[in-house]
Structure 1
Amino acid sequence: MTPTHPMTVRRTAAITAALRDQALTIRDLAARVFLEYEQTRRYVAHLHADGTVHIARWTVQTAGRETRLAVYKLGAGRDAPRPARLTGTQRQANHILRIRDDADLYDRHKARSRARKLKPARDPMVSALFGAARVQEVAHG
């Protein structure tokens, strides 16, 4: 990316104009300036390295896996510290809490848990024709 290229100048101007109104994540910013996420990420990284924008705070993406997203703000300033990562136990506890809040999801979760414990029974006619089921041994290497 050449800083003096007319397209780069136009795009960085659009990004700074959007950030002048409010602090935004890269996803929100990309939608507002009509650029792809990856392009917007590169331009914001360039502006961040120059000191034109800074990370005002961190937010959590709620869809899918909980991911920390930086919220950028126009102007020089100190970056907000990145929150510590959740441990696997903390992520699992959050997942269980989300499941228990939704009754249908909790019922499905319990049904899957019960289904895992069931052993499949061989049909008596199949046993009569072909004999008892053989258990495959897995070679441990």
Structure 2
Amino acid sequence: MLRKLLLGFGFAELAKPRPIIDACERIGLENPSATERRPQALRGARLEGLVFVWTLLRERDGSTVITALLGLAGTILVVLPRPIIELSQSLVDENTAELELKPWVVRAARLLGALYLLVVALSRPASGDSSPTDGTGA
């Protein structure tokens, strides 16, 4: 069920990233109407959605570079969120100096990191599911 919910979020972010970015700005900024969004913000949101969907739908054992990077980003967000918040703001908004973060943004970033780690965990095959998928039927 949780996997389907996260897949739905990933597909929504791929298809319509603007409402998701708008919601994040309303949640995280004291002055969301002051944002001057960079053109690549929508592409970045779509990329995040694509990573979620790809990570959750692939059917391979072991780690991949994308899964490892998502896990690394999640870990950094959980442990040290402020540099990632600043980096993501500079990638998304032109006028970061004018934007005022709400007090709970650091906690929200940590939750986002935990969400990334959850996607990574859900992408791994179940421990009892070690059957070969090479098509030999053995």
Fold similarity call, TM over 0.5: no
RCO comparison, higher one (Cα < 8 Å, 6+): 2
- Kindly indicate which of the two structures has a greater share of residues assigned to strand: 1
Category of TM-score, reference length = shorter chain? under 0.3
- Kindly indicate which of the two structures has a greater share of residues assigned to helix: 2
TM-score if structure 2 supplies the norm length? Answer: 0.19
Between structure 1 and structure 2, the one with the greater Rg is 1
